[in-house]
Amino acid sequence: MDSQPPSTPPSQKHGQTGNHSRSHLTPEEQRRIEVNRLKAKAIREQREAEEAKRIPHPSPTRGTNIGTGVKRSFASMSSPQGPATLRDGRTGAIHTNRPLDSIRPARNFAKYVEYDFSKMTDTKGGFLTEDDDPYNKALYVRDGKKEQKPAHMTQKEWDRHQLLKSTRRDDIMVSGSKQNTCCECGSLEIDRKWEEAFGCCVCSSCKEKYPEKYSLLTKTEAKEDYLLTDPELKDEELLPRLEKPNPHKATWNNMMLFLRYQVEEYAFSAKKWGSPEALDAEFVKRESEKKRRREAKFRSKLQDLKKRTRVEAYRRNRNGPAGGNFGDDLGSGSRHVHQWGRAQENPEIGMDIKKCVDCGMEVEELEF
């Protein structure tokens, strides 16, 4: 019986048996063992992948989760359909993929624009040109060639104006019988703004050629020269007008412009004065009436001044030619203002003395 106590590591004779068996394996046997081990591992992974496809995965939307500590196989993670936990909240699908093309950007990055720098112009300054980004209005150069939005118009009104302008430009292709021409020279290049505001078809050259007919009048000029009233000038059906920003101050009301020949047609018609001679007669009548009122007002003020002067003279005559004495009651409830006479030298004190002609108060005058 072996009385040797157990020891760690085991005795040398047990270790020699294992090393002896391994040392007798040839390289060919070791290669076959390694190949068999890899085949068995591949078969096991294939079986696990098939079982994972047959077993339904728990739906995350039903409040169930995958158990903690369960390791998923590499095949389930590398499958073309993707992992089971990949969800698409937009469609409600569980096993759907999310390609990058269908991902919507955040609201703050919705206006993000990606540029291809290989196709852009190198400006050597770090800025973009209009050719690189033709749809960016911030890059447009205000060189006067392109019409800009006026300050008094909103963006919606400006877009409507541009649309109407482009529509009229397309009307050039229409036959000449349907187009509006200049009423003076017959040209097709009429002022579309005047046509829309005044209903007058005239070109720019004729406007400069006939200023006595096609010049613009302000509201003040129409009231003073043609004696029109505010209700008549505010009636657009009676007198068309063109509104522009006030040149004196932007916060004031818009400036109203009227066409001269339209104002004259209404002023000289039977609805108003009838003829230029009647307008001139009315103008003379109003001027004479204003002159008469001014003269009457001046005469009334002059009569009032004479009355006050007579009362003052009567009061002074009543007090005597020498004037009043110091302390006399002048009989007026208003505040007294001294009226000093000429300074006279007093031989007793050797100083100049001034005396008030109304109350008789005396003051000494010193000259430095």
- Return d(Cα 359, Cα 10) in angstroms, integer: 147
Buried b (16+ CB within 10 A) or exposed e, 153-174: eeeeeeeebeeeeeeeeeeeee
* pLDDT tens figures, 195-237: 888 888 888 888 888 888 888 999 999 998 898 999 888 888 8
Buried b (16+ CB within 10 A) or exposed e, 330-347: eeeeeeeeeeeeeeeeee
The contacts of residue 365 (CB under 8 Å, 6+ apart) are 343, 351, 352, 353, 354
**Residue 45 pLDDT:** 92
**Residue 104 pLDDT:** 64
The pLDDT confidence band at residue 254, using thresholds 50, 70 and 90, is confident
CATH match for 180-273 among 1.10.1740, 3.90.530, 1.20.120, 2.60.40: 3.90.530
Hey, what amino acid is at 269?
S
Higher per-residue confidence, 287 vs 189: 287
Residue in 120, 59, 69 with CA at minimum distance from that of residue 93: 59
Mean of pLDDT over the chain? 75
- Return d(Cα 238, Cα 198) in angstroms, integer: 11
**pTM, full prediction:** 0.39
Sign of dihedral through CA atoms 149, 155, 157, 158? positive
**Residue 181 pLDDT:** 84
- Return d(Cα 220, Cα 238) in angstroms, integer: 17
The pLDDT confidence band at residue 284, using thresholds 50, 70 and 90, is very high
Residues β-bridged to residue 257: 218, 242
**Residue 64 pLDDT:** 46
**Residue 100 pLDDT:** 54
**Residue 40 pLDDT:** 93
Percent of residues, the chain, with pLDDT higher than 90 = 11
Q: Can you tell me the mean pLDDT for 251-255?
A: 84
Higher per-residue confidence, 333 vs 55: 55
Higher per-residue confidence, 289 vs 253: 289
CA atoms within 13 A on the CB side of 185: 13
Structure tokens at 338: 């001294």
Q: Can you tell me the mean pLDDT for 5-20?
A: 52
For the chain, which residues make up each domain, given as ranges? 180-273, 275-321+352-363
**Residue 169 pLDDT:** 60
* pLDDT tens figures, 30-72: 999 999 999 999 999 999 998 888 876 555 544 445 555 667 6
Which DSSP state fits 356? Answer: B
**Residue 297 pLDDT:** 93
* pLDDT tens figures, 127-159: 777 677 766 666 655 555 567 777 777 888 888
Distances from the Cα of 136 to the Cα of 124, 141, 144, angstroms: 20, 11, 18
* pLDDT tens figures, 85-143: 555 555 554 445 545 555 666 667 666 667 777 777 777 777 777 677 766 666 655 55
- Strand ranges inside 198-303, DSSP E: 216-218, 242-244, 255-259
